[in-house]
Each structure stands twice: as C-alpha cells, then as structure tokens.
C-alpha cells in the first residue's frame, strides 16, 4: 500500500469520533487552496469527514489526486483540481470548474503558501513578486471569485491562513513574514466590506506545525528547543489541530465571529 500525502488519511475510521461534529457543514461546498499536502491535506480530510462537498486546488498533481483517491470513501469524494495559484487566470478557471461541479462556494479556506527561507540580500524584484504571489495575492483573488456566491446566499465563511512568524520576529524569510502580516490587514478590511452581506472573514494563524515538509526541511535541534521554550503546551502542534479550528470557523456555530485572528500555536505568541 502506498503512503498517503497526509498520514492521518490512513488513520482508523473512528479517528474523528472523539471530536466535535458540525451538522451545518454536511453538504456545504468548501474550497481549499493548497490542499494536496501538509495542513491543507488535513483540511480536506476533516471537511470531507464532516460530510462537506470539498474541492481543493494544488500545483502538486500527483499528491492531489492521491489524496482525493484516498478519501474516495467519504460521503462526497473530494474534487481535486490542478492549479498554479500564482496564475490568476488559472485560479479563476479552477474555481469556476469547482462551482460547476459542486455548486456555489459557501466556505473558502485560503491555505496555500510557501515559507521558503531567504535572506534580505537574496531578494530581487522578481523573487519579491513571486513570494507575494504565492503567499497573499491569491487570497484576495480567490475571495473575489467566490464572493458573489456568498452574497447571493447571504452567508459564507472565508478563512485566510496567516502565520506567527512575523509576530515572533522570526528572521531569514522577510518576504514571507511581510506577506503573512498582510493577511491580517486583508482579513479585517474584507470583514468590514462583506459583513453586511452575512459573510464572515477570519484569519487562522498556525504556530510551528509538524508537517512532513517542516520536519524534513526546517526543523533542527535548535528549532525544537525554541518551540519547547516558546509554547505553553509542551506537545507537538499537528495539522489536525488547525483543521479542527477551521471546521469551527466554517460552521454556523461561529456565526458571530468575524474580523478575528485565531492563533493556534500552543501558546507561543
């Protein structure tokens, strides 16, 4: 048996039973960007387990299709759409395809990002534009592409993924930290613009989440010690910890929560 892009996909069938279920998410159309691996894959899995109709976008075609196939036993098999989110025309086309297949989008999870390390000296105008494109620009244009559906429904939840990196003054990726700090400004402005249509907009802000990529590329002994010193809770932060908060923010249970920055970091910030 081949391994899943997200280890929790191969978890026992009852893995979600000890956590909350949200009846309002059953049948709800959810669009997730960057959903093939890592935190995004956990979002896809958890929304599918709630009975939502999930479409997810990613540039990694093989991982995306593998995840969709692994979740084929869900009430509604997730729909994977290959897309480079930095290409806005392609993003708009993929979202149009998702709506054609599943119906109007009711929940948008703007998850896609790339925290590639880089120094100030290495930044060029081209790398600056590329960093902004992958970390914040697509969030605005994804909202633009789904917002008319939500206005028609007089309801909707938009969840923009931020990062604690800029809050902690972390170094060695200035374009990333700048982009992620901009997410909160985007969230607060959109919350005011869209609130009178019944649309909620919140930022979901992860700490250091133990994805396979983070362990492989960035996690050092020094990093582990920094996490241990910084977090109030001495435990590893996992993708599913973010996914369960996203479920709450998408469900009707959080109907009066908007313009907020929900930090899930074990108490580091």
Distance, CA of 161 to CA of 150 (rounded, Å): 19
- Polymer length of the chain: 269
Q: What is the tens place of the pLDDT at every residue in 192-232?
A: 999 999 999 999 999 988 777 766 666 677 778 888 888 99
List the chain pLDDT tens, one digit each, 269 residues: 233 345 445 444 456 678 999 999 999 999 999 999 999 999 999 999 999 999 999 999 999 999 999 999 999 999 999 999 999 999 999 999 999 999 999 999 999 998 888 899 999 999 999 999 999 999 999 999 999 999 999 999 999 999 998 888 877 789 999 999 999 999 999 999 999 999 999 999 999 887 777 666 666 777 788 888 889 999 989 999 999 999 999 999 999 999 999 999 999 88
Entry pTM: 0.91
- In this prediction, residue 39 carries a pLDDT of 94
Domain ranges (residues) in the chain: 23-262
| Mean pLDDT computed over every residue of the chain | 91
- Our CA dihedral for 234, 235, 239, 245, rounded to 10 degrees, sits at -60
Query: Which CATH superfamily is 23-262 part of?
Result: NAD(P)-binding Rossmann-like Domain (3.40.50.720)
The answer to whether the beta carbons of residues 182 and 236 sit under 8 Å apart is no
Q: Which of 164, 161, 146, 157 is nearest to 242 (CA)?
A: 161
Could you tell me whether strands 107-110 and 29-33 are parallel, antiparallel, or unpaired per DSSP bridges?
A: parallel
Active site residues: 176
Q: pLDDT digit string (tens) for 228-260?
A: 888 999 998 999 999 999 999 999 999 999 999
> DSSP readout, the chain?
-PPPSSGGGGS-TTTTTTS---GGGTT-EEEEES-SSHHHHHHHHHHHHTT-EEEEEES-HHHHHHHHHHTTTSSSPPEEEE--TTSHHHHHHHHHHHHHHH-S--EEEE---------GGG--HHHHHHHHIIIIIHHHHHHHHHHHHHHHHT-EEEEEE--STTTTT--S-HHHHHHHHHHHHHHHHHHHHHGGGTEEEEEEEE-SB--HHHHHHT--HHHHHHHHHH-SS-S-B-HHHHHHHHHHHHSGGGTT--S-EEEESTT--
């Amino acid at each position: 048996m081949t391994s899943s892009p997200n280890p929790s996909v191969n978890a026992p069938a009852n893995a979600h039973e000890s956590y909350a279920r949200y009846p309002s998410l059953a049948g709800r159309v959810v669009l997730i960007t960057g959903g093939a691996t890592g935190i995004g894959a956990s979002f896809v899995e958890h929304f599918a387990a709630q009975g939502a109709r999930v479409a997810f976008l990613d540039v990694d075609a093989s991982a995306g299709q593998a995840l969709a196939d692994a979740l084929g036993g869900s009430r509604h098999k997730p729909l994977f759409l290959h897309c480079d989110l930095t290409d806005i025309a392609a993003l708009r086309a993929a979202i149009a395809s998702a709506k054609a297949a599943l119906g109007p989008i009711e929940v948008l999870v703007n998850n896609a990002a790339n925290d590639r390390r880089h120094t100030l000296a290495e930044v060029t105008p081209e790398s600056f534009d590329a960093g902004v494109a992958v970390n914040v620009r697509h969030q605005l244009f994804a909202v633009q592409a789904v917002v008319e559906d939500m206005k028609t429904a007089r309801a909707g939840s938009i969840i923009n993924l931020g990062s604690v990196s800029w809050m902690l003054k972390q170094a060695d990726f200035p374009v990333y930290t700048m982009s992620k700090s901009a997410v909160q400004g985007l969230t607060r402005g959109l919350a005011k613009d869209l609130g009178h249509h019944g649309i909620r907009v919140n930022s979901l802000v992860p700490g250091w989440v133990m994805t396979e990529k983070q362990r492989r590329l960035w996690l050092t002994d020094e990093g582990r010690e920094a996490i241990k010193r910084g977090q109030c809770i001495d435990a590893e932060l996992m993708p599913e910890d973010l996914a369960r908060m996203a479920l709450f923010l998408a469900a009707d249970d959080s109907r009066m929560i908007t313009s907020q920055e929900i930090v899930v970091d074990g108490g580091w910030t």
